[in-house]
Structure 1
Amino acid sequence: MGSSRSSILCFLMLCASFLVPTSCHSYSHGALFIFGDSFYDAGNNIYLNTSNTSLAKLSIFPYGETYFKHPTGRVSDGRLIPDFIAEFAKLPLIPPYLQPGNHQFTNGVNFASGGAGALVENNQGPIMGLKTQLRNFKNMEKQLRKKLGASEVKTLLSTAVYMFSIGSNDYLVPFITNSTLLQSYSKKEYVKMVIGNITTVIQEIYKIGGRKFGLSKLIPWGCFPFSRELKLSSTGGSGCMEEFTLLAKLHNRALLEALKELKKSQLKGYTYSIFDAYTVATAIFNNPSKYGFEEVKWHAVAAVH
């Protein structure tokens, strides 16, 4: 098995192992709460504003065709990483928070929204940014307390896993929208703001009861087809947009350090796992045929993730 596949498998197994029951309590079977962007969005966006052209496309093929046999709102033709982790943990697929009629919550909820960023300024259009996702989580927690009682909810939240895939749009959106936000700070200052918003949300969830967190590094966005085409249209040059890749590297280093600092801050019971998506994506770009791809450089990508 290749190193990239091993990395994915290890992350799946580790997150799933977080969900192993620790007692015979009725709600200690584990739950999965998911935050992030389109890498993790299981369909929230299609309930926000289906008149939006980009969102409406999620309701037609090829989305969903390889596994669900119908579009589900996932930006994929099949399952997402949280779907596989739920399967590993023997949980049902975790439903979107906005899905009509979903009021159970005891197996977890997916709050992710395609296009979401950690910074409020980078949330474009009818989407739920990270701050909104946190607010939805708090609202859900209040509903659960009314339904189950404080003791039951404390156990449920403390044994749950909280997954995050967030940050990509904070670096992509300023380039796409010609925003001056990124230029208003040094790269390190800007990354610090993004990471600060992510860790603030983690700390807020910890205060409510969360203890186990799984996060993902950013992929080398500068070499994505979208970035290559953006460079071609703006400068006439070919190849990767190195500024994107540099920001991803800075983000990944800062994220790892921030998670370590939280560990040092004596948050009792706090633990985390981090998925090295950067290394996995780089391996695919460098050797696409090994992973079943014929071309990874020039196919257009129209939507923000």
Structure 2
Amino acid sequence: MASSSFFFVACLLLLPFAYANINTTTITNTPSLCPFKSIYQFGDSFSDTGNFLRISGVTTSFHADRHPYGRTYFRKPTGRFSDGRLIVDYIAFALKLPFLAPYLDNSASFVHGVNFAVAGATALDSSFFSQRHINAPAYNVPISAQLKWYHAHLNATCHTPSACAQKVRNALFIFGEFGHDDYYNALAQRKSVHDTRAYVPYAVDAVINGVRDIVKSGAKRVIVPGTIPFGCLPVYLTAFRSSDPKAYDDLGCLKSLNDLSSYHNTYLMKALSLLSKELPSDAVVVYGDYYGAFRSVLRQASSLGFDSGSLLKACCGAGGVYNFDAKKMCGSGNVPVCSNPARSVNWDGFHPTDETNHRMSEILIDQVLRKITCA
């Protein structure tokens, strides 16, 4: 990769320190963004726009196909794990593109890109976990499977490698977030945080190999998001609740879980810096700091209109200090939902609300997307 491309990766290592103030201007004012013609999204539930609910035979406690999911914007469940839009939706809007249809929607138009993300998707194949006596869900669609979908899509829409490369040349690729579900599966099955850290190099290698694959296919502009801070999510705050005040940081998040997120993200950034040296000179791969963006929302929550008394509580949930109970998941039974999700940072114990995704997308558009040179 050329030195200018390397600069993008290197300078983004400093992004966590660049969020002292969120730019609250509307994302419709985006004159400096490249004129991308399409978006290709890979990832898990943070970016799934409906693939998960289209996988047949899935039995799960997650109910993004039921009310009150989607209530804020779409007014109905769409398969998004939010009360409304996701970060990729806000990015599409900023680029004046339609929302991405899920790959498994057979009736959809994919003229402006495809969403391959699936809730619960891991970076690593299920065989990796079975070898370590960890059960990955039967419906897992890891990076390797999403890449197969991607190549099948290209083969169906262009007839030669050169034609496919031309097709994706002016597209924005968002490869991730990946990693969260790899670590969640381990932690949920009583692996310690310390033991789970050992999986980080493997997960990051899977991400890096995936980026290599899409760049080889012709991708020129790729954002690779890191994970959000696990220790700030109600699911982990509930499962790992501690009586030791020193276990928490100044925002009330669990240090040990945030350290796991930070370790993954640091490892990923270093791997991207190394990857940049081997990629074509016209390919730009940048790190997307979801961790820093989420923490910035928490720090400035009051000025952004969030309820300062419930920043670490689920809007849709029931029970306990963090309004989360794994036996009473959002969308099931009579689980209540807060009256105004726009004032909540967390939607269902795992995922951000529409408003949080909005605020995070403002940061990412300003600090990452605006800095990507056009092809």
Alignment RMSD, CA only? Answer: 2.9
Q: Structure 2 CA distance, aligned partners of 1:59 and 1:107?
A: 24
Residue 32 of structure 1 aligns to a residue whose secondary structure is strand
Contact 1:162–1:210 (8 Å) recurs in 2: yes
Contact 2:187–2:193 (8 Å) recurs in 1: no
Q: How many residues align?
A: 284
The reply on whether 1:116 has 2:112 as its aligned counterpart is: no
CA offset at residue 13 of structure 1? Answer: 5.6
The reply on whether 1:157 has 2:157 as its aligned counterpart is: no
Give the 5 Å matches for 1:110-259.
Answer: 110-121=115-126, 123-146=136-159, 151-163=162-174, 164-179=176-191, 183=195, 187=197, 189-232=198-241, 239=248, 240-259=253-272
CA offset at residue 160 of structure 1? Answer: 1.1
Sort the Cα spacing of 1:236 and 1:200 in 2 relative to 1 into closer, same or farther, 3 A.
same
Tell me the amino acid that sits aligned with residue 76 of structure 2: H
- Which stretch shows the higher mean deviation, 295-304 or 197-206? 295-304
Task: State the TM-score, normalizing by the size of structure 2.
Answer: 0.68
Sort the Cα spacing of 1:172 and 1:198 in 2 relative to 1 into closer, same or farther, 3 A.
same
Contact 1:169–1:304 (8 Å) recurs in 2: no
More relative contact order, 1 or 2 (CA 8 Å, 6+ apart): 2
Instruction: Name the one with the larger helix percent.
Output: 1
The reply on whether 1:96 has 2:111 as its aligned counterpart is: no
Residue 272 of structure 1 aligns to a residue whose secondary structure is strand
Sort the Cα spacing of 1:285 and 1:99 in 2 relative to 1 into closer, same or farther, 3 A.
same
CA offset at residue 8 of structure 1? Answer: 11
CA offset at residue 36 of structure 1? Answer: 0.5
Aligned to 1:30: 37
CA offset at residue 105 of structure 1? Answer: 2.7
CA deviation vs aligned residue, 1:238-284 (integer Å, no higher than 9, x gap): 74443321111111112112222222224232102322221222233
Aligned to 2:23: 6
Sort the Cα spacing of 1:171 and 1:290 in 2 relative to 1 into closer, same or farther, 3 A.
farther
Aligned to 1:60: 66
Contact 1:30–1:156 (8 Å) recurs in 2: no
Contact 1:42–1:112 (8 Å) recurs in 2: yes
Tell me the amino acid that sits aligned with residue 121 of structure 2: A
Identity across the alignment (%): 27
Sort the Cα spacing of 1:243 and 1:7 in 2 relative to 1 into closer, same or farther, 3 A.
farther
Sort the Cα spacing of 1:192 and 1:269 in 2 relative to 1 into closer, same or farther, 3 A.
same
Q: Structure 2 CA distance, aligned partners of 1:287 and 1:5?
A: 8
- Structure 1 unpaired stretches of 5+: 21-28
Aligned to 1:72: 78
Q: Structure 2 CA distance, aligned partners of 1:282 and 1:8?
A: 19
Sort the Cα spacing of 1:78 and 1:301 in 2 relative to 1 into closer, same or farther, 3 A.
farther
Residue 253 of structure 1 aligns to a residue whose secondary structure is helix
CA offset at residue 42 of structure 1? Answer: 0.3
Sort the Cα spacing of 1:7 and 1:136 in 2 relative to 1 into closer, same or farther, 3 A.
farther
Q: Structure 1 CA distance, aligned partners of 2:229 and 2:60?
A: 27
Tell me the amino acid that sits aligned with residue 228 of structure 1: L
Q: Structure 2 CA distance, aligned partners of 1:248 and 1:99?
A: 32
